[in-house]
Amino acid sequence: MRHPVLSDQELAALLADDVPCGDLTTDSLRIGARPARLSFCARGPMTVCSVEEAARLFELNGARVRLEARSGESLSFQAPILTVDGSAEVLHRTWKTAQVLVEWASGIASVAAAIVQAAQHKGKRVPVACTRKTVPGTKALSVKAVRCAGATMHRLGLSETLLVFPEHRLYLDESPAVTVARLRAAEPEKKVVVEVGTVDEALAWAQAGAHVVQTEKFPPDRVAECRAALDVRQLPCLLAAAGGVKADNAEAYVAAGADLLVSSAPFSAPPRDVKVQFFGDM
């Protein structure tokens, strides 16, 4: 996603939250009309994201932006991100909001990219999907960060996927086969995904015709047990490992036989550090 995913109105609202009644310091110093330049660069390695939103934020305030990087690129220490020319008033009013956008989104993208990179074993690579557990109000940028890192979304919300949790099954009085048949009849274009807490549950739902069984917080050895049980019975459903999946254990889950890794870890990532440098009269 190398384009802004926030509208101009949403970007303006972010800036208005930080500068509701003008920039008191810059206005009091009476330096706003002075020409100025600033640059963003990476203080450390990162998968950068939200560069386009930052650039658009400056442009909306009358500045001129030159992009040095695009969302999804892997940057090294001190790699340039963007350069901005404009008045001191505009640059001082806008830079912190733009910096926070890039830092926060790059944190998500960097952790997601690390999991994607780790999700392989002996030449086998499996896809990584991130959950819908984004920070409230940040979904559009979170999804952009996940996707530009090479991962995908497990589900964007409740409206487009069938995922049967144990909490749903509390209210069912029927066999797994009946449940799967009803879901397939109701939504014939959708995959039926079922979250399971034991190997026996995984087998029962796979035999009932679920397209995907999703293990909840299984350690790798239990995922391997589940994989073996499914393979012995030649059940074709996919095996998704969810709960606690991070970059440091992703390879173990792939080695255990998972077909898909499901993770929420990127959404609690610390922001990456972006250096902002101002230059004098231009």
Provide the pLDDT for residue 3: 85
Instruction: Tell me the domain boundaries of the chain.
Output: 8-116+270-279, 120-268
pLDDT tens for each residue of 7-32: 999 999 999 999 999 999 999 999 99
Provide the pLDDT for residue 2: 74
pTM of the model: 0.94
Q: What is the mean pLDDT of the chain?
A: 96
Residue 209: which of 227, 186, 191 has the closest Cα?
191
Residue 87: which of 38, 41, 53 has the closest Cα?
38
When pLDDT is averaged across residues 116-131 and rounded to a whole number, the result is 97
pLDDT tens for each residue of 55-114: 999 999 999 999 999 999 999 999 999 999 999 999 999 999 999 999 999 999 999 999
* The architecture CATH gives domain 120-268: Alpha-Beta Barrel (3.20)
> Which CATH number describes the domain made up of 8-116+270-279?
3.90.1170.20
* Residue 40 parent element (H or E): strand 35-42
Instruction: Determine the 3-state secondary structure of 194 from DSSP.
Output: strand
When pLDDT is averaged across residues 124-132 and rounded to a whole number, the result is 97
Provide the pLDDT for residue 222: 97
Provide the pLDDT for residue 1: 65
How many C-beta neighbours within 10 Å does residue 233 have?
A: 11
